[in-house]
Structure 1
Amino acid sequence: MLQGQIIEEYPEDEPCPSALFFAYSEGRPCHVVVAECEDHIRIITVYIPEKNKRIDHVLRRDQK
């Protein structure tokens, strides 16, 4: 995550605002949803992005 980039932000999430990070882990693309609470950071989920839903693992494909 230190080398990752924020690709989506969710400022209205409750109980804490969160963001979707993209990074590589052991050479594989990885998404991490992280919430930033007042006194701590919370890892919500970690997953490998589906190729059919993202362009270059970062941009959402048009869902038409």
Structure 2
Amino acid sequence: MKLKFSGHAMDRMFARSIRPEDVRTVIDHGEPIADYPDDRPFPSRLVLAFVDGRAIHVVFGYDSATETAHVVTAYIPDSALWESDFKTRKRKPR
């Protein structure tokens, strides 16, 4: 599978010291957390993996015609927003 990075993804990765090979690891071996089937131009998915002991989330859309993963963003999940498993979003207080 080929990877194609958006400008936004590259900016975020650089700011967060996330390497392209880290993103590849997350996509290839990560656990899907959420699917967004209505995203355009491709359905997308949020995936989690631990790389070098660090939790990383990657959002990407997959173009099956070209076998290309279009990376939308990559980030280190914020523990203020995510439960300790980094798979479950914390509920907002009412």
The alignment's TM-score, normalised by the length of structure 2, stands at: 0.64
Q: Secondary structure at the match of 1:52?
A: coil
| Structure 1 ranges of 4+ moved more than 4 A | none
Q: Secondary structure at the match of 2:80?
A: helix
Q: Which one has the bigger helix percentage?
A: 2
**1:59 alignment counterpart:** 88
Q: Which one has the bigger strand percentage?
A: 1
The alignment's TM-score, normalised by the length of structure 1, stands at: 0.90
Residue identity over aligned pairs, in percent, reads: 33
Aligned residue pairs, count? 64
Identify the structure with bigger relative contact order (alpha carbons < 8 Å, sequence gap 6+). Answer: 2
- What RMSD over aligned residues (CA atoms) do the two structures have, in Å? 1.0
Are residues 1:47 and 2:85 paired? no
List gaps (5 residues or longer) in structure 2. 1-25
List gaps (5 residues or longer) in structure 1. none
